[in-house]
Amino acid sequence: MDFLSTIASVISYHAWDPIRRHSGYLISYKRNINKLVTKFDELDALRKDVQREVDAAILERLEDVKNVVQTWLMKVDRMEKEVKGIKEKASVISNKHFLHIGLHYKLGKEADNNIKTTDALLEDRNKFGRVSHKRPPPRTTDSLLYNEDFVIFDSRKSCVKKILEALKNETVHSIGLCGKAGVGKMMLVKDIAKQAKDQRLFGEAVMVTVSQNIDLKRIQTIMAESLGLHLSEVSEEVRAVKLAERLATTQNKILVILDDLWEALDLSKVGIQLSQMAATCKVVITTRNKDICEIMNCEEIVELETLSDDESWRLFTSRAGDAVKSPTMMELAQNIVKECAGLPLALVVLGTALKGKKLEIWKTVLMQLKRSMDVGLQGMSKQVFQSIKLSFDFLESEEAKSCFLHCCLYTEDYDIPKEELMHLMVGGGILIDDETLNDARGRVDLLLNQLKARGLLLQGSYENRVRIRDVVRDVAIQIGVVADHAFYVRAGQGLKEWPRTVESEMRNCRRLSLMRNDIEDLCPDPMQYPKLEMLILRGNEMLSNISETFFLHIGSLMVLDLSSTGIVSLPKSVSCLTNLRVLNLGFCDCLEDISHINGLKRLEILILDGCRMFIDPPKGVGWTQNLRFVNLNHSMNDYFSEELTRFHRLEQLFMDKFEGSFRELIINLRYLTHLFINEVVDLDDPLSHELGLPSSWPDRLVKFSLSFLKGQPWRHWYDSRRALKLMGSKPLAVWVKRLLKTTIQLALVEFQETELISIDWLSLSSLEYLEVGNWPNLTKLLGDELLMHEQIPLSQLKNMIIKNCPRLTNLIPSSLCQRSMQKLEYLDIDDCPMVLELFPCDQGAHNITELLPGLRTLFLRGLQSLQNVLQPFQCLPNLKNLFINDCGVTYVVSSEMETVVILADPFPALEDLDIRNCQEMNEMISPPTSLQAPCFFQRLRKLQIWSYLILQDLPQLTAFHHPTTPAMERLHLTCYEIEGCPKLQEPLEGLQSLQNVLQPLQCLQRLQIILQSLQSLNLRGIQTPQNVVQPFIHLPNLKNLFINDCGMRYVVSSEMETVAILADPFPALEDLNIRNCQEMSEMISPPTSLQAPCFFQRLRKLQIWSCPRLTHLFSYKQAISMQHLSSLHIYKCAKLEAVVISKEMEEEASSSTHVVDHESYNRPFPNLRELILRDLPQLTVFHHPTAPPMERLQLTSYEIEGCPKLQEPLEGLQSLQDVLQPLQCLQSLQNVLQSLQSLYLIGLQRLQNVLQPFQCLPNLKKLSIHDCGVRYVVSSKMETVAILADPFPALEDLNIRNCQEMNEMIFPPTSLQAPCFFQRLRELRIQYCPRLKHLFTYEQAICMQHLEGLYIRCCDVLEAVVISTENKEEASSSIHVANHESYNSPFPNLRDLILVNLPQLTAFHHPTAPLVEWLHLTSYEIEGCPKLQEPLEERIRSLRMEEEEDKGEEDEGEEEEAGDLEPDWYLEG
């Protein structure tokens, strides 16, 4: 009976549960709906917060929104529609009516399901954290290869051909191009790079000018930016590794051009390791010295000769004009050409300079060329120098000459901003006749155009920048040294200290540039440069302190540039610079105090862009009297908002946020021509009120960028924009409409009008960018009266974005599109659910109408009422990108209108089509009723997002083409991805159908040519096939293979029935990624014949995740064929026992351990650089004991975590030790792992020692040990044999965490022969080591001269850091302090000290050890050390006081000598 009752209770429970649930839908349907509404309100508030973050990321930080965030927002939008639909249905039914019971039940069930979905969305918000990620820096390949007016002459075509052939040759990795200065090396190599890119030899090109002083960080930064890579690391070595990874793993081959090398450069230090990058990277260098090419082992060296006489004449006349062909001029011109010696730079510069000049000037030039002597510039001919010098002399004005010389103040190959040049020239008193800064800028633009026309300057990477050739810059510096100009330039030369010069040389110096050096300290004494007018210290990032008297005797200084330095405050002597006009403190991240600028009464230009938000402002008003230009960005916004009346002469203002009266700002700043404010916060709503000024005041603003939306800043463009962002709850004031006349960029938010543009808005003739958002009443863009108006609005518009206009029904009638908006390139319509048509046309029109000829990109999102993208006879002739998301369209293209067949493609130029979440779409092209319909999408290149075929989430897909469709033989795919198609039996179904009708040998022959272009293949969710491809399928160009959640058992099948496969199906494969393949047991199916080939011979990168049946990867024979493998990552393979095994000796593995003579084998994985083994619980060895050991793994990165059975991290080395005697071991292991620089050991609880006693990692710089069983870091002995060498001679960073068994850092030596360890260590971090009692002996500590940072936390029994081993026994009974003056000081360079949560620590050093002096300590933290008897602060404070006293005595002596010459504030100080 109990049994029956139990069964009954179970049955009743399971029967009642669904009854209760379904009845609840009916009974509680109202409660469910109310709960759903409440939940969604919470979700909606969260959505608004996320959307604000998204907008800020896009507009302010220019970041890319994460895909997961976009998907989440899209799901919330769908949920909003669901909730709205349920509410509408519930509002129209009667609760009491019996007929509505079925609807009540349905609504209750829908509400309950949606509550669960809403809860899930609320939880999902917490999963993605930040809504965006930083964009990679913009790639500059195209701008780098821009070569204006360059012509390749016949004599140089052989050089071009030779270099291009070398670039095509796989055996050539580096090419050298050498020749004289001015012979045209840079221009030629840029043109060659452009040709190589056009021929698709390379996907990207990188060009860096190296020049005389090699700056590795600068070279790495320029390369990274050109490749779209962000390098934030400080260490050159780490940056090199990151850059090398980018170069080695790229899918597009990269050409690196290193221009103007003056000495040999170690490419590996930059991050270019050509031996490992043969397939991905090539290098071309240019130099004046052929020996450099030979030293750098360039496989191909090309010498660039000068031009022939005929070519020289043609180049010269093209610049000098046809006048040189007249009888009176020809002979003279030919003699000048002869003096130029065939050097293109000299010919171009002189030809341009002499164009239009009188005969007498030509004769003078020829005479000077003949008299010119060799110059003292290395590698520069007298012809080049003299031609540039003469071109400079012929400049018409002193302003032009000064402008040219100011360009040499910058470092080589610098993109010089025109705005900065204007500041230098205005501040230096050059442009004194220009009334306003805007006039001065126009004057500088004119001068720069003249210099570019003369060939002295080049166009920069952007429109507002210029560049100067390195050869021309060298000449400019020589000219600038002359007394009349008095320039002294040492920019970018790697100076560590102030340049040592003869005082007489500098007494006449007027302009001094030390830009971009590594100067840390300036001269402590006042500078004696009485004539100095300009001092540029920009980019000396290590410069943190300037002595208080530094500027004491430089009263003539007019321009001071301290930008991008580490200074914290300005010295008092700044107030002595009474003639200073320009002060640039931009991007001084540490700057806190500028109070001493109060005395700068002639200051005109102040730049604080990029500084801290809170800087102590000056207290007085004297410095504001003559200010004309202020760039505050985030700094001092509050101060300026409050004190704006003091800046009455201001012409140009740039600030982040203004809070106050906008009217007062405009009234007080009457001279403004440039006004850029990211956010204006004015409670008086200035947009709807007149400002009480003459209505013409907006005409004064030449450039402006203003946002009047609180919390929605407008990112301004400094150089060329006129932008407004407005919110209009009320009609706009006249001054705003007047400003709209010249506006280029306009954003209009939350206006109440029903029409966007009416007669009053016809003044928008300059508008190029228009954004409309959140207009609840907007029904149409243009008023009806505009349709017949003669004036065409928006004629200059290039970009238009319309968002969240719920009542908008259409955009612009097609008739108006033909007259207006001809320049529109980008159109984005988002979340306008009532839009029925984009471009409504007249009824009955059957003629093809071409609309918007400039439109290239069209985005359509959230247009649920839109049924067709275009009307049947409309056409967008140049549209290339079409994106349709969450729209109501049923077709992309309609092939007929009623009974009229459409005979033309509406998208003839379309290349990229992306369609998402279109619930109503059932076909791409509406089915025609006639055979006359044309073919569409004939130019289409990309379908969906990427440039490859994607089949994703197609649960009913059984075949790529229907069985009745003929098979597709030659698919020229380059990428191929299948995901979520469980019924698709064969990924390459077309190929499988071929196989069914071909014999095996015929199949091999036929399929050799199939998929020739396929380069990427992605397979996801394919459960049926056992192999990636059938045995005889060949993918000759496949480079990337991604397999995820598939049912295949092997990647490669080595045989088909009894026929062995004799060729690798993936001969070009470089990147293989396998994830979540539950059935995979082996990488390669085991052959029954010895004829099976070796596979994956070109593989560079292999990643394997979560393959629970995989026991090993490769046989030893297979492993030695993988010569290119550089990266191996294995994660979460539960049964993996070894990576490499010996198939030949598999039978002996269980009974004996047999080590094969490794000298008879080639080495497996000889180029492996990166190894990660993580969460492999059964892994016991890297290679099976029966496999020969691997000798020289050249690893640079090595990480092991969660491999508890792996007894030895370097298992290959351990197997060597088993067969070698100790002395032989010492000799053999000296060269093991020569390249390893970083080693991470995590979760190796059975590991007792990091290395065996005689092992050495000579180049290891970083070692991290986490959660391991090690007892010592270093063992100083092996039984009775002392270790005589440091196993980590290059170690700089040591991090130890959570090592429960560690009781000493160094195993205690038994003899005095033990060496000192860690002699190069800079940083040491130790945390959670509960058995550690001390760190080092005093003898060991004094060896650690480089230690700068020591951080110890949570070590429960630590008593001291440093102890004395000689007097251990006396420690408990007496306190002995040795005379520390007789000892070397331990840790002499210690700068940072942290001791936290050390309950047993009684002293930093044991009482028997000599005192430690902390003379260089800059920061320290002591917390949770209750037994520390003498707080270290007292010792540190006493040392500081002694040091200050000594310094004070010196200062007093200096004051006595100074007498009455110093100002009062200095005597008081």
What pLDDT, in 10s, does the model give residues 457-477?
A: 988 888 889 999 888 898 898
Type of residue numbered 1081: S
Closest CA to 405 of 387, 394, 421: 421
Which of the residue ranges 426-440, 1335-1349, 1435-1449 would you say has the lowest mean pLDDT?
A: 1435-1449
The token pair at 255 is 């050409």
Helix axes 344-354, 327-339, angle to 10 degrees: 150
pLDDT band of 22, cuts 50, 70, 90:
low
What are the tens digits of pLDDT across the range 186-206? 888 888 888 888 888 888 888
pLDDT band of 285, cuts 50, 70, 90:
very high
Predicted TM-score (pTM) of the model is: 0.59
* Residue 1339: pLDDT over 50: yes
Q: According to the model, what pLDDT value does residue 128 have?
A: 73
DSSP class of 866: -
Determine the average pLDDT of the residues in 1404-1417.
63
What are the tens digits of pLDDT across the range 507-536? 788 999 999 998 988 887 788 888 899 999
Contacts with 1186 (C-beta within 8 Å, 6 or more apart), sequence order: 1141, 1142, 1145, 1146, 1148, 1149, 1153, 1154, 1156
Determine the average pLDDT of the residues in 676-693.
82
The token pair at 621 is 């008003």
* Residue 1151: pLDDT over 90: no
**H or E segment and range at residue 1114:** strand 1114-1115
Determine the average pLDDT of the residues in 288-306.
89
What are the tens digits of pLDDT across the range 80-95? 888 888 887 777 665 4
Closest CA to 1325 of 1357, 1303, 1300, 1348: 1348
Span between the terminal Cα atoms of the chain, in Å:
103
What are the tens digits of pLDDT across the range 130-183? 777 666 555 555 555 555 566 788 888 889 999 999 988 888 889 999 988 888
The token pair at 875 is 């056409």
Q: According to the model, what pLDDT value does residue 561 have?
A: 96
Question: By three-state DSSP, how is residue 281 classified?
Answer: strand
What are the tens digits of pLDDT across the range 309-368? 888 888 888 888 888 888 888 888 888 888 888 888 888 888 888 888 888 888 888 888
pLDDT band of 1413, cuts 50, 70, 90:
low
Question: Among residues of the chain, what percentage have pLDDT more than 70?
Answer: 73
What are the tens digits of pLDDT across the range 903-933? 578 888 998 888 888 888 888 887 665 556 6
Q: According to the model, what pLDDT value does residue 1222 have?
A: 31
More confident residue, 1042 or 1227: 1042
More confident residue, 298 or 94: 298
Q: Are 687 and 727 in contact (CB under 8 A)?
A: yes
* Residue 1304: pLDDT over 60: yes
Residue 905 to residue 927: CA distance in whole angstroms: 15
Q: According to the model, what pLDDT value does residue 1415 have?
A: 59
What are the tens digits of pLDDT across the range 25-73? 666 677 878 888 888 888 888 888 888 777 767 655 567 777 778 778 8
What φ, ψ does residue 923 adopt, rounded to 5°? -150, 155
Question: By three-state DSSP, how is residue 1018 classified?
Answer: strand
What are the tens digits of pLDDT across the range 1156-1183? 333 334 667 878 878 888 889 988 888 7
For 565, counting Cβ atoms within 10 Å of its Cβ (0-12 exposed, 13-18 middle, 19+ buried), the class is buried
Which of the residue ranges 11-25, 218-232, 472-486, 540-554 would you say has the lowest mean pLDDT?
A: 11-25
Type of residue numbered 1308: P
Q: According to the model, what pLDDT value does residue 930 have?
A: 55
What are the tens digits of pLDDT across the range 640-684? 878 877 888 999 999 888 888 888 888 888 889 999 988 888 878
Q: Are 1221 and 1215 in contact (CB under 8 A)?
A: no
The token pair at 1032 is 């005889």
pLDDT band of 1211, cuts 50, 70, 90:
very low
- Return the C-alpha torsion angle 423, 425, 426, 432, nearest 10: -160
For the chain, the residue count is 1469
Which of the residue ranges 436-450, 619-633, 782-796, 1057-1071 would you say has the lowest mean pLDDT?
A: 782-796
The token pair at 773 is 């958002």
**H or E segment and range at residue 1215:** helix 1211-1219
* Residue 1436: pLDDT over 70: no
Mean confidence (pLDDT) of the chain:
76
Determine the average pLDDT of the residues in 1364-1382.
40
More confident residue, 1408 or 259: 259
pLDDT band of 563, cuts 50, 70, 90:
very high
Burial 915-953 (b: 16+ CB within 10 A, else e): beebeeeeeeebeeeeeebeebbeeeebbbeeebbbbee
Q: What is the CA radius of gyration of the chain?
A: 38
Residue 839 to residue 699: CA distance in whole angstroms: 36
More confident residue, 482 or 895: 482
Which of the residue ranges 134-148, 591-605, 812-826 would you say has the lowest mean pLDDT?
A: 134-148
